[in-house]
Amino acid sequence: MQSVNDYYSAIQLRSDRWSSLREATGALGRDPQGKKADALRSQIEELFTSLALIERYWAFPGMQAFDHLRRQFEHGNLDDLAFGVHRVTRALTTGAYRRRHIPLDRESAEVDDHEDEAMLSPEARALTKPYFEVMIVDDLNEHQERWLKTNVGRMRRFEDPFMYETVIVPSLEDALIGILFNHNVQAVVVRPGLRLKSGVDLPILKRYLNRVGGAEGLEGLKPENFGAELCRLIASVRPELDAYLVTDRSVEEIAGLDLGICRRVFYNQEDFQELHLNILRGVQSRYKTPFFTALVEYSKQPTGVFHAMPISRGKSISRSHWIQDMGAFYGPNIFMAETSATSGGLDSLLEPHGPIKKAQELAARAFGSKQTFFATNGTSTCNKIVVQALVRPGDIVLVDRDCHKSHHYGMVLAGAQVVYLDSYPLNDYSMYGAVPLREIKHQLLALKAAGKLDQVRMLLLTNCTFDGVVYNVERVMEECLAIKPDLIFLWDEAWFAFARFGPTYRQRTGMNAANVLRERLKSPEHAKAYEKQAGKLKDADDEKLLMTRLVPPPDARVRVYTTQSTHKTLTSLRQGSMIHVNDQDFKGEVEQSFHEAYMTHTSTSPNYQIIASLDVGRRQVELEGFEFVQRQVEAAMSMRKAISTHPLLQKYFKVLTAGDMIPDAYRESGVESYYDPHQGWTDIWECWEKDEFVLDATRVTLAVGGTGWDGDTFKTQILMDKYGIQINKTSRNTVLFMTNIGTTRSSVAYLIEVLVEIAKELDDRLDDASNMERRAFEHRVKALMEDLPPLPDFSRFHDAFRSDKVTIEGDIRTAFFLSYDEKNCDYLDLHGSINEAMASGREVVSASFIIPYPPGFPILVPGQVVSAEILAFMRALDVNEIHGYRADLGLRVFTDEALAQRMGTKLPEAAE
Ligand SMILES: Cc1ncc(COP(=O)(O)O)c(C=O)c1O
């Protein structure tokens, strides 16, 4: 049996234990007197013991059935045992237990076995009632437990929209373990008899308790408060769940408590009917999809189309002689749901009052925002909307320089004064990390010293970065607010929509941090902490402020925006994105300008299918986001483990760890790697709570320089052309494998197989290589892994685009439009004339965005001075795609005349 440390999660442990039990009981059943029988018996014994700790948190097969299997083993009914275990394991794998009762004895099973779950059509599956589990928390004896289950079970009716089963756990701790372990739980019923402590002593389960700050905080809790405290704690780890508190305390006492996500308080313990109806209604409120449902309804109505869209109802296709294949490929429903109507039960995205408005409100609840807006043209557009809504011409915005290009264009459109922030470089892998908090504070303090803090409007950062570096969002906001208490934050979470649904990840999302901060700033403890620090820092210099963890004033405003490409990490059609708002001043100050910005960028014919898919994607995450994100992290972790422990793969590849991608100074926890071949898994909770930066484990960066291929060649010529594996991002010597909520264990297995095959081929090739060939290979590897051009910092804006020389902000808009006039621009050859120009002392200033792929962000923006480092980097880049640069013409730069004119000065030579 593998040790518990070999498992990243208890879910994997559970499924592995059941498979082992199936194999062992099967083998023993086939040969009960064989040589291995004794060993098998003790293995089965151990597996039963270990599963007994785990199964109490799950409704299927349930402790009763589990104990029955165990008794069969003890009584030597080996055939029946093997049969029963086989049925359980199979039902767990196929999910059949979600759809029907699974009999474990032979006679009933024979009647039942007609249905092969894998063969169910999608239509048939859509007709089955969704299943979930309700966790009841009460310390009961066996008899009481049976009584309770029977009573709840009796409430079921044929017309119920969902099916559920109950799991009973005795204590507050067990309930917390249960909801973090059992993803089937959708509702928790907390009864007055619960106790505090769990009797379970399995570290992999106990670890879950760290998610709520450990058990220490609970020690002094009075028993009458266990229930309310549990409701509050559930809200902090799985806010999407419904809790019901059954209590015998008075209404007045209960009213004064924080009950977290409690939907209802019951004073009558045995009102099962009410409880049942409430549980169903709670799940229904997450299940409903106002816009998707409206669109389905609309598509069924008979209508005559007398406005735009000949494709509506498929009319232009069905009458066609030439495009029938399109109709056949997509099927009829998509065209039935295509319409330009905004009435008849539908709604307008630009002025929503009906189902789109409702769908957006539900999304706000799911993602923890105060307002949510859907977008049908990606986060590229969302970013421009938010920037335009909030930034006035001349406002100063601090932006990470390696942000997505939509932000740079957003800055141009808004006329912002841009302070570009440098991320720490990862020269060994030719990629950037993220912007250290010290650098952000440093720029804010410089602006403060220059008397420009009033002009500063927004801090804009990418979280997480493409490569998976994640900020400590809460800390960044706290410390920045301590310097500028009304600063607005835009977190580009294009890659991070899923994070809300994993408790570890959630704490580093903009919306969660905003909600935490809003609460914290109101608290008396915070006011005290602030006063204390303010006294200490009264005469502090900048260095002291940079070294101190700053506390924001209690009256700081929490103003947070996030933009998410739902389509990148969750279920949504391409381009489906959301803007989430958690801004205390939105209603008073922003609503109108937000509306204008939204109108500026949104099509008057937004795609209904995209909106419907956002609505359904929201339903999914509210009901199974927790499970899917957990599985995704598991898949990524098993990929990390498989690659880093395979001896052949280690020769040519390396999975980059947190230690590789985040310098020590930003990893206070000291955690280097989430998996260590000797120590097993690290619980990532601790570093996610503390460190300045952490690594999103679902993105696996693989260094491939050891193969002698650069990242781009490895991607296109090896992975894509030879094996049909698609990836997106590469650097000079790495490729990035992104997992998502659709990643399966088999797709991970296939990738590993492919990597092993590539490594074997390389091995063979090197075996047969001549000395010369081998030397050439080593040379290539060295060039890729060691001789890397250092990544350049942002140089500076030319004085023509700066208001002074005190702080570094620049007017990117003026530079951008100055280049529209061709006579202001010139071209310099990267390998010739530019050298002469720079050698002669001329300041060469870029007139365009220059964006090489990879890394995919501008290494030059309009108005930026070209430095020797940038030039060296451009020359060393061996990528095919450099947007904004034309090799036949050269680098587009401003003429000296244009710059001089901007500055209102004459050229030095002209002045003579
Ligand atoms: C950080 C970041 N922001 C925004 C975007 C744009 O998102 P979309 O493709 O949804 O327009 C991307 C796209 O890759 C991105 O990486």
**Is 244 strand, coil or helix?**
strand
Handedness of CA 724, 726, 730, 734 (dihedral sign): negative
How much distance in Å is there from the Cα of 613 to the middle of ligand 1? 18
Nearest to 562 by CA among 377, 420, 421, 383: 383
What's the CA-to-centroid distance between 77 and ligand 1, angstroms?
59
697 contacts 9 by C-beta, under 8 angstroms? no
**Residues 6 or more apart from 45 whose CB is under 8 A from it?**
73
Q: What is the pLDDT of residue 912?
A: 38
CA 467 to chain centre: 12
CA 512 to chain CA centroid, nearest Å: 13
Ligand 1 centroid to residue 577 C-alpha, Å: 10
Between CA 752 and CA 746 the distance in angstroms is: 10
Give the pLDDT of residue 910.
43
Interval 281-305: pLDDT, tens: 999 999 999 999 999 999 888 777 6
Ligand 1 centre to CA of 851 (Å) is 15
In contact, 390 and 590? CB cutoff 8 Å? yes
CB 412 within 8 A of CB 454: no
Please give the distance, rounded to the nearest whole angstrom, from the Cα atom of residue 563 to the centre of ligand 1: 9
| Best of 376, 399, 401, 404 for a ligand 1 pocket test (most atoms within 8 Å of beta carbon) | 404
Supply the pLDDT for residue 908.
53
Q: Which of 377, 423, 492, 565 to mutate to test the pocket of ligand 1 (most atoms within 8 A of CB)?
A: 565
Q: How are beta strands 371-375 and 242-246 bridged, if at all?
A: unpaired
Distance 492 CA to ligand 1 centre (A): 8
CA-380 nearest atom, ligand 1: 11
The residue type of 362 is L
Sequential DSSP letters for 315-358: HHHHT-SS-HHHHHHH-SHHHHT----S-TT---SSS--SHHHH
Q: Mean pLDDT across the stretch 307-325?
A: 90
d(Cα 617, Cα 188) in Å, to the nearest integer? 24
pLDDT per position as a tens digit, 587-623: 999 999 999 999 999 999 999 999 999 999 999 999 9
Hey, which residues does 893 pair with through a beta bridge?
826, 846
Instruction: Look up residue 538 and give its DSSP letter.
Output: T
More confident residue, 450 or 310: 450
What pTM does this model have?
Answer: 0.94
Q: Which secondary structure element, helix H or strand E, spans residue 491, and what is its range?
A: strand 488-492
DSSP state of 714: I
Strand pairing report for 185-190 and 242-246: parallel
CA terminus-to-terminus distance, the chain: 88
The one-character DSSP state at 21 is H
Question: pLDDT digits over 671-720, tens only?
Answer: 888 877 666 667 788 888 899 999 999 999 999 999 999 998 999 999 99
> Residue 99: which pLDDT band, with cuts at 50, 70 and 90?
confident
CA–CA separation, 684 and 701 (whole Å): 18
Mutation test of ligand 1: which of 568, 569, 572 has the most ligand atoms closer than 8 Å to its C-beta?
Answer: 568
Give the pLDDT confidence score for residue 3 in this predicted structure. Answer: 60
Nearest ligand 1 atom to the CA of 462 is: 1
DSSP per-residue codes, 660-711: HHS-GGG-TT----SEETTTEE--THHHHHH-SEEE-TTEEEEE-GGGT--H
Q: Per the structure block, which two tokens stand in for 1?
A: 């049996």
Q: What is the mean pLDDT of the chain?
A: 91
**475 Cα: distance to centroid of ligand 1 (angstroms):** 24
Ligand 1 midpoint to CA 375 (Å): 13
Is the previous residue joined to 677 through a cis bond, with omega within 30 degrees of 0?
Answer: no
Residue 116 clears pLDDT 50, i.e. is over it: yes
Q: Residue 686's pLDDT is what? A: 82
**pLDDT value of position 216:** 61
Which residues have any ligand 1 atom within 6 Å of their CB?
A: 378-380, 404, 406, 462, 466, 492, 494, 565, 577
Please give the distance, rounded to the nearest whole angstrom, from the Cα atom of residue 713 to the centre of ligand 1: 24
C-alpha 48/C-alpha 68 separation (Å) is: 11
Radius of gyration of the chain (CA): 31
Q: What local confidence, expressed as pLDDT, does residue 214 receive?
A: 55
Q: Which atom of ligand 1 is nearest to the CA of 377?
A: 11
Taking Cα atoms as reference points, which of 862, 800, 812 lies closest to residue 396?
Answer: 812
Q: How far is the CA of 83 from the centre of ligand 1 (A)?
A: 51
Three-state secondary structure string covering 772-836: HHHHHHHHHHHHHHCCCCCCCCCCCECHHHCCCCCCCCEEHHHHHHHCCCHHHEEEECCCCHHHH
Q: Which atom of ligand 1 is nearest to the CA of 403?
A: 1
Is 136:168 a contact under the CB 8 Å cutoff?
yes
Q: Residue 579: enclosing H or E segment and its boundaries? A: strand 577-583
> 371-421 pLDDT, tens per residue?
999 999 999 999 999 999 999 999 999 999 999 999 999 999 999 999 999
CA of 337 to the centre of ligand 1 (A): 28
Note the pLDDT of residue 309: 84
List the beta bridge partners of residue 492: 462, 563
How much of the chain exceeds pLDDT 90, in percent?
A: 75
- Cα–Cα distance between 20 and 565 in angstroms, integer? 40
Look at residues 870, 792, 795, 804 and name the one whose alpha carbon lies nearest to residue 417.
804
Q: Classify residue 238 by burial, with Cβ atoms within 10 Å: 0-12, 13-18, 19+.
A: buried
Q: Which of 379, 567, 602 to mutate to test the pocket of ligand 1 (most atoms within 8 A of CB)?
A: 379
Contact of 234 with 245, CB cutoff 8 Å: no
Q: Which atom of ligand 1 is nearest to the CA of 577?
A: 10
Indicate which atom in ligand 1 lies nearest the CA of residue 568.
Answer: 10
d(CA 795, CA 792): 8
Cα 191 to ligand 1 centroid, rounded to whole Å? 46
CA pair distance 296, 616, nearest whole angstrom: 12
For a ligand 1 pocket test, name from 406, 409, 610 the mutation site with the most ligand atoms within 8 angstroms of its C-beta.
406
Enter the tokens of residue 119: 């063969």
Q: Does the pLDDT value for residue 324 go beyond 70? A: yes
Where would I find the H helices in 368-436? 378-390, 405-414
Question: Phi, psi at residue 167, to the nearest 5°?
Answer: -125, 135
Q: What distance in angstroms lies between residue 855's CA and the mean position of ligand 1's atoms?
A: 14
Beta-bridge mates of residue 137: 169, 190
Is there a contact between 497 and 509 (Cβ–Cβ < 8 Å)?
Answer: no
Q: How far is the CA of 490 from the centre of ligand 1 (A)?
A: 14
Query: How confident is the model at residue 129, as a pLDDT?
Result: 92
Task: Indicate if the pLDDT at residue 652 is higher than 50.
Answer: yes
Task: Report pLDDT for 416.
Answer: 98
Q: Tell me: cis bond preceding 663? Omega within 30 of 0 counts.
A: no
* 7-41 residue pLDDT tens: 778 888 999 999 999 999 999 999 999 999 999 99
Residue 205 has pLDDT above 90, yes or no: no
Q: Using the mean position of ligand 1's atoms as its centre, give its distance from the Cα of residue 422 in Å.
A: 19
Nearest alpha carbon to residue 681 among 203, 143, 95: 203
Contact between 375 and 567 (Cβ < 8 Å): no
pLDDT in tens, 865-904: 999 999 988 887 766 778 899 888 999 999 999 999 998 8
The pLDDT > 70 percentage for the chain reads: 96
- Give the best-scoring range by mean pLDDT among 105-114, 249-258, 636-645: 636-645
Using the atom order of ligand 1, give the atom closest to the CA of residue 466: 16
CB burial string 833-848: b at 16+ within 10 A, e below: bbeebbeeeebbbbbb
Output the CA 462–ligand 1 centroid distance in Å.
10
Of the residues 380, 563, 578, 729, which should be mutated to test ligand 1's pocket, given the most ligand atoms within 8 Å of the CB? 380
